[in-house]
Amino acid sequence: TAAAPPALASRTAAATPERAQLLQAELEKLRERMRAEATAEAEGEAEAEAEGAGAGFRLRAAPRGASEGLDWTELRSRVMEEEGEGGTYELCCYVDHEPTSTQVAMWRDKRRRRIVLAFRGTSDVMDVLTDVNLLQTPLEQRADGGRSDDERVVHAGFFASARAVNRRLKELLVAACVGTPGDWEVLVTGHSLGGALATLFAPEVARGVDASRGFKERADEPWFSSLV
């Protein structure tokens, strides 16, 4: 991924220093909980709600698959072994936006300065409803809810899910990168529905991470434009 332009990187870091510190503290709490749960019985592991996660969000610590009843721990261990070369990924957080059933895991390799964002695919009824919402909607929405004149359109269901976690993921990404996302490699991936969400989110962080907003919005038209 391309490094963030200096102007954007500086603006992002300067705009949210307190927020970045808070999110970094959240990540540290989650990692501490993960280490504690690693020695507990599988059935005794609990989900952790991060303080201040925001309405509809949960940050989960258990490093398991997103689908209920599936445990990917063994597969994960094999992948980590194949990585070799001292590369070690730690699970930073697992974001779960319950209203849209959008779930994303964030992994980090400090030595390689690499972040992996993995979006979960279709897994429940809510996801199916997202998939079949085939209407097309403008990529850049208007903040006032008015009709956007953006000719670029995207799948409405996919966009709603990606939009629900966009800003939150950027905030967590900045925190995971210790405030300098431009110095890190960011890999965005997903399967099925997750692949669509990854496709929408990747351009948002390809040229820099602006954690002050979600998807870019269309500028409001001046009042006198209706007179022309």
* Local mean pLDDT, 10-residue blocks, the chain (228 residues): 40 53 70 60 41 54 54 64 64 91 92 92 93 93 85 94 95 90 93 95 92 84 52
Place of tokens 């800003």: 167
CA angle at 182 for the pair 177 and 184, rounded to the nearest 5°: 55
> Taking a C-beta distance cutoff of 8 angstroms, is the pair 214, 138 a contact?
no
pLDDT number for residue 222: 52
- CA 189 remoteness from chain centre: 11
> Taking phi first (over 0 means left), then psi (-120 to 50 degrees means alpha), and beta for anything else, what does residue 161 get?
alpha
Listed in sequence order, the residues at least 6 apart from 206 whose beta carbon sits closer than 8 Å to its beta carbon are 1, 2
pLDDT number for residue 198: 96
* Both structure tokens of 123: 């897994």
The closest of 152, 216, 157, 165 to 192, measured between CA atoms, is 157
> Taking a C-beta distance cutoff of 8 angstroms, is the pair 91, 34 a contact?
yes
Q: Measured in Å, how far apart are the chain's first and last C-alpha atoms?
A: 43
Place of tokens 């094999």: 78
* Both structure tokens of 9: 């990187």
| Residue 105 three-state SS | strand
pLDDT number for residue 178: 86
> Taking a C-beta distance cutoff of 8 angstroms, is the pair 94, 59 a contact?
yes
